[in-house]
Homo-oligomer: A and B are copies of this chain.
Amino acid sequence: MHVTMREVALRAGVSPRTVSNVVNDFALVAPETRARVRQAIEELGYRPNPIAKSLRSGRSGFIMLALPELSISYFAELSSLVIAEARRCSYTVIIEQTDGDPERERQLIERDARNPFVDGLLFSPLALNADQLRASSAEVPIVLLGEHGAVGIHDHVGIDNVGAARAAVEHLIELGRLRIAAIGHQDAASNETSQFRSQGYREALEAAGRRVEPDLLASAPSYHRDDGASAMARLLDLADPPDAVFCYNDLLAIGAMRTLAERGRSVPEDVAVIGFDDSEEGRYRSPSLSTIAPDKRAIAAAAMARLVGRMNGDDSPPASQAVPFRLEARESTLSVARTASF
């Protein structure tokens, strides 16, 4: 159906081998041979068939980015950066959504990670824990995104979740808040991110000599806006409601703020709110949302660099790379006056 390399070779009066050499900028092809081949390519409108190339070379030029959901803004923003970074490295990105479904996540490391169509896998697991991740029989390199306990088996790139959560809660403590709640806890031993953030929350409170009150640790089935809204509603219904809340992501925080607005509580006066992720959305709310800002660009860059290294044969032991984060204190925890320069 297509013009083939053979036809180009025929027209240029050379062998396919030489055409291949020219197309791939290989070896020392005699300048005039190269010119002849180039012209034949031009005239025939030849385009190499990447599938045939993949079959022979064993590399497709595709990487898979697997994440819970693209409609969660953190993942959308991260994907955008990963795709741009991959492009820079001459890779094309296949996106897979797991919806945090354990079955789909298992398929990823068992099936997709052995699919010759993908040269590497960037995976942000939600449901699988360290042991399950460890069991992977992957044939392609995998770099995990986010923090996980799967140390020593796969590479991973992420921020220090415990430390970041601690920083968020310390910020609320420094502001003089007395009853600090958290939204986003999940019991399932599987979601390690939630575990780490809860741990940071506890550590910060304990370091300040505070009691951790189970009532104030609100769980959320998933990390969408409506989960935050209903969790906040439950917290407000407590006999002694919180005056500050640390949400495990920005969407939860935004849902919480919506509930606060509906109930006529003002932020930050009545309740200070801090999120996690530094989504664009939070930056533009009124009041703007204080948050933990992972360096997403650095995550995308480091993850791609690691993956590219692996795909090129680097077989050093799996490593964890911690990427920096910042605390972005904005209007939802500070008084409006203090950030008037926004």
Contacts and interface: CB of A to CB of B under 8 A. Distances in A.
B117 A51 contact: yes
Nearest to A226: B284
Given A2-B116, A47-B114, A92-B96, A77 B83 contact: no
Contacts of A222: none
Contact of A92 (B94, B254, B255): B94
How many of chain A's residues touch chain B, expressed as a range?
35 or more
A225 to B, nearest CB: 5
A341 B1 CA distance: 61
Given A51-B54, A284-B254, A262 B342 contact: yes
A84 B96 CA distance: 9
Contacts of A77: 70-71
A52 interface: yes
Copies of this chain held together in the complex: 2
A51 B55 contact: yes
B97 A95 contact: no
Highest count of chain B CB atoms <10 Å: which of A258, A281, A283: A281
Nearest to A92: B94
A60 interface: yes
A41 to B, nearest CB: 14
Highest count of chain B CB atoms <10 Å: which of A54, A70, A97, A225: A70
Nearest to A61: B117
Interface string A325-337: 0000000000000
A80 interface: yes
Interface of A: 1-2, 47, 49-52, 54-55, 58, 60, 62, 69-71, 73, 76-77, 79-80, 83-84, 92-97, 111, 114-117, 225, 229, 254-255, 257-258, 261-262, 280-281, 283-286, 342
